[in-house]
Amino acid sequence: MSITPPNQPSVSPGRPGARDDKTPVEPPFDEQLRIFWEKNHNALYVGCALVVLAIVGRYAYEMLVAQREAVVEAAYAVATTPAKLQAFARDNAGHPLAGAAWLKMADDAYAAGNFSEALVNYDKAAAALPGTPFATRALLGKGMCLIQSGKTAEGTTVLRQLEEDTAQLRAVRSEAAYHLAALAFAAGNFGEVVKLTDLVMQLDGGGLWAQRSLLLRVRTPVPAAAPEKKGETTPAVSVKLPGS
């Protein structure tokens, strides 16, 4: 007699729903975690160490950069003679303060009337500070050096380039336009003087170059009206009335 309970089919291997002793049983999560740790703990230690080293290295690099910047700034502060400035610029080539040193040497040479030396240093400053207002400042100085050296046409071209460039700072355009106006005044081109001084006063408002332009404008002769030729008379206006 069968002892199988009613309505309960007997379970036998190979039948649907039958339990196969060979089917693997998935271990619990904590057991899986333990197995994973045993297999990969060395790699995890190495990964964590690399992350920590990267963070420490980054802060160490930033600290070194800050220290180097402090050293360079201190060296620039004590470079108070032309020889020291030249040595600083040579030793720190590629640093923005090296460009500032060349610019200062150029300005000093220009003030001393040594325009050939100033011209060389302005070129070095512009090359060391590309894309900055200091490079534009150096270009302006170069234009003035050319003019002072007797190369008026070349210097005027440089100043005209700056004056017409609407992307330049207003102060740069104003100074360039003023120097061009002064050249036009010396050449007796008073129409150009009026045009350029108008531009300066428009750009600079009540600034230094606007004030100088106003003084230049006061000295500019007003064009005289064309004199009437002898024998010429103003033609009379003839008005015809209706019925005449």
For residue 49, which amino acid is it?
A: A
The per-residue pLDDT for range 157-189, each reduced to its tens digit, is: 999 999 999 999 999 999 999 999 999 999 999
Name the nearest CA neighbour of 181 among 200, 202, 154. 200
pLDDT band at 234 (very low <50, low <70, confident <90, very high): very low
**Distance between CA atoms of 92 and 159, rounded to whole angstroms?**
30
Q: Please check the confidence at residue 98 and state whether its pLDDT lies above 50.
A: yes
Q: Is the pLDDT of residue 120 over 90?
A: yes
HEC letters along the chain: CCCCCCCCCCCCCCCCCCCCCCCCCCCCHHHHHHHHHHHHHHHHHHHHHHHHHHHHHHHHHHHHHHHHHHHHHHHHHCCCCHHHHHHHHHHCCCCHHHHHHHHHHHHHHHHCCCHHHHHHHHHHHHHHCCCCHHHHHHHHHHHHHHHHCCCHHHHHHHHHHHHHCCCCCHHHHHHHHHHHHHHHHHCCCHHHHHHHHHHHHHHHCCCHHHHHHHHHHHHCCCCCCCCCCCCCCCCCCCCCCCCC
- Averaged pLDDT for residues 35-60: 70
Residue 194's pLDDT is 94
Q: In the structure, what pLDDT confidence band is assigned to residue 238 with cuts at 50, 70 and 90?
A: very low
For residue 117, what pLDDT is reported? 94
Residue 123 or residue 9, greater confidence: 123
Percent of the chain with pLDDT over 70: 72
pTM of the predicted structure, to 2 decimals: 0.64
Is the pLDDT at 4 greater than 80, yes or no? no
pLDDT at 222 over 60: yes
For 63-84, write each residue's pLDDT tens digit.
Answer: 665 667 787 788 888 888 889 9
Residue with token string 């003019």: 147
Q: What is the pLDDT of residues 49-65, one digit of tens each?
A: 777 767 766 756 566 65
Across the chain, what does the average pLDDT equal?
80
pLDDT tens string 188-217: 999 999 999 999 999 988 899 999 999 999
Q: What is the pLDDT at residue 7?
A: 56
pLDDT of 236 > 90? The answer is no
> Between the ranges 9-13, 134-138, 201-205, where is the mean pLDDT highest?
134-138
Confidence class of residue 237 from pLDDT cuts 50, 70 and 90?
very low
How far does Cα 24 stand from its chain's mean position? 68
Cβ pair 117, 108 in contact under 8 A: no
